[in-house]
Structures are given as C-alpha cells and as structure tokens.
C-alpha cells in the first residue's frame, strides 16, 4: 500500500510539473529542446554572457525563461526543455508558430554515456521520477544502460526522429549539432543569434566563447561562480567533492563514447544508429 501511495504521489508531482512547464513554454520567445546531456548548459552560458556584454545583466546569472527579459525587454525569454510534449511520446506539441524553436542534438552514443553518468551520480530522485526513470537504473552497467530501449541510444534515436519531423513542419525552426558547435563555436553561436534576430560584433561573440570554454566553465562550476544551482556538484554525501562525475561540466568530448566499450559493444551501438536514426542528423556514418 505504501508503494502504491509513492507511485501515485510521483504521478501527481509529474502532472504538476508538466502543467507548470506548459505555462512557462507559452511565454517563451525561443524554445530550446534537447535531450539531457546534449550541451544545452554550454549554449545557455554563452547566450547569457552575450546578453551580459550587450545589456549588462549579471555575469553570474543564466537565462532562465523571462528572468533577463524582466530586466531588459529586448532580451528574449528562453526556455530550455527536454521536450514540449506531455506526455513526451504522444502528447500535444506545445510550440506555437509564433515561437522560435531550436533543437539541439548530439551523437546519441555520446549522449547515452553522459546520461548514464548523470543518472548514476547527479540526478535527484525527483528528477528521475519526472523523467519516469526507475531508481534501479542507477545500478545498470553502462552497456546495458546504453542499449536500454527507454534510457539509452534507442530512446535518444526515437527522440531525434520525432523532432526531425516536427522541425520540418514548424515555420520558425532550426537545429544545432553539438559537434558543429565544438568545431566552429563562434560561427555557430553567431548563426543562432542571427536566428534570434540579433547581430553581435565578432569580438563580443569571441568573448562569450572564451567565457564558456570547457576548462573555464569547469573551473567556474567548482568555484561556485554561478548563482544558478544548475552548475555545481551533486549533493552526494558519500562521494568526494573532487570526483569529476559529480559535476555538470564533466567531459564534453566528441566521440569519447568509444573509450567505454569493447569493439563488439561499439559495433552494436553503431548498428543501432545506422539502422534506425534519421540520416539527416548526420550521425549514421
């Protein structure tokens, strides 16, 4: 009976969270949709620092909905979300034609590895409940997690395939690949700001890129630079605060997933992407 009560309460909390998110999404000028661990914090930091340089909002704050817009109306309200469907797979797509939509993606295999670390070391029980992830997922080995249909590469592939179709049907949409952002950070950041209708001089773009470079961002997280709780170590009493797995800025590599698997396991993950992912995303080679 106690277990049933906990499940019911988790369901109620999830519905309240969805209702709250739906209200927030309706106010957004830009919706950034990405699977967890796809680089959205990095993008958030760079955009926030651009608006700090342009409009003087605090350097240690990150854009979160309309918090910057309340200070400076010229700054867009930006919501970052894992999805805008409620429920995620079959629900209504909560994006209006008037809103800009950016879908941020990363190689599903890198996402699966990073997400495994997140679930194992950072995610709270409340977050796991919202995402319908059982606590038992923390005990899964990496390959089992990466091949799990509701957690790993198959789940990320399904997420990307749904959004590929949605992008084609939305009048004010674009996508951004994490790998392209790593390869040409300044160029891609400028492209996204132009998508927002903004123009920033090259030196300001370069300053935002330097502010958010991986080493700098990791150090800022360790120092507690940002007022937002999004960047900081997970509160795990049994782990050392020096454990890199506890931090949000953990590795950020491109293709680093291969180091974690045997050749046979890597071949399985390659086949999953090759055989099931929409080729337009560019990850099937």
Tokens of 73: 């109306």
Across the chain, mean pLDDT equals 87
Residue 25: which pLDDT band, with cuts at 50, 70 and 90? confident
pLDDT per residue as tens digits for the range 62-81: 999 999 999 999 999 999 98
Q: What is the DSSP letter of 135?
A: G
Residue 96: which pLDDT band, with cuts at 50, 70 and 90? confident
Find all residues with CB under 8 Å of 268, minimum gap 6, and list them.
147
* pLDDT > 70 fraction of the chain, expressed in percent and rounded: 84
- Quote the number of domains for the chain: 1
Specify the pLDDT at position 132.
81
- Cβ count near 55 (within 10 Å): 13
Whether the pLDDT of residue 10 is over 80: the answer is: no
The whole-model pTM stands at: 0.85
What whole-number distance in Å separates Cα of residue 82 and Cα of residue 65?
Answer: 14
- Cβ count near 133 (within 10 Å): 17
- Cβ count near 73 (within 10 Å): 11
Specify the pLDDT at position 2.
53
Find all residues with CB under 8 Å of 261, minimum gap 6, and list them.
142, 143, 146, 269
DSSP H or E run through 101: strand 100-105
Find all residues with CB under 8 Å of 138, minimum gap 6, and list them.
119, 120
Secondary structure percentages of the chain, helix, strand, coil, to 5: 55, 10, 35
CATH number of residue 112's parent domain: 3.40.50.300
Tokens of 278: 């929409």
Pairing state between β 173-177 and 78-81: unpaired
Tokens of 185: 């950070």
Domain with 241, as residue range(s), is 2-281
**Phi and psi of 121, rounded to 5°?**
-120, -25
């Amino acid at each position: 009976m106690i277990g049933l009560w906990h499940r019911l309460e988790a369901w109620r909390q999830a519905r309240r969270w969805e209702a709250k998110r739906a209200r927030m999404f309706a106010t957004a000028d830009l919706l950034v949709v990405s699977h967890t661990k796809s680089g959205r914090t990095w993008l958030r930091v760079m955009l926030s620092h651009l608006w700090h340089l342009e409009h003087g909002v605090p350097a240690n704050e990150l854009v979160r909905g309309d918090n910057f817009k309340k200070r400076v109306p010229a700054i867009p309200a930006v919501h970052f979300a894992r999805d805008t469907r409620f429920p995620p797979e079959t629900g209504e797509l909560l994006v209006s034609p008037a809103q800009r939509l950016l879908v941020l993606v990363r190689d599903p295999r890198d996402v699966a590895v990073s997400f495994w670390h997140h679930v194992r070391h950072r995610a709270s029980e409340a977050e796991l409940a919202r995402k319908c992830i059982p606590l038992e997922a923390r005990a899964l080995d990496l390959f089992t997690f990466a091949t799990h249909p509701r957690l790993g590469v198959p789940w990320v592939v399904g997420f990307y395939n749904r959004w590929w179709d949605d992008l084609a049907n939305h009048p004010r949409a674009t996508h951004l690949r994490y790998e392209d952002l790593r390869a040409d950070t300044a160029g891609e950041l400028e492209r996204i700001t132009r998508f927002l209708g903004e123009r920033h001089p090259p030196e300001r773009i370069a300053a935002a890129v330097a502010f958010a470079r991986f080493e700098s961002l990791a150090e800022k997280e360790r120092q507690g630079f940002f007022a937002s709780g999004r960047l900081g170590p997970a509160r795990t009493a049994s782990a050392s605060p020096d454990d890199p797995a506890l931090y949000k800025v953990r590795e950020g590599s491109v293709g680093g997933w291969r180091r974690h698997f045997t050749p046979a396991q890597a071949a399985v993950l390659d086949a999953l992407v090759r055989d099931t992912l929409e080729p337009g995303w560019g990850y099937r080679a």
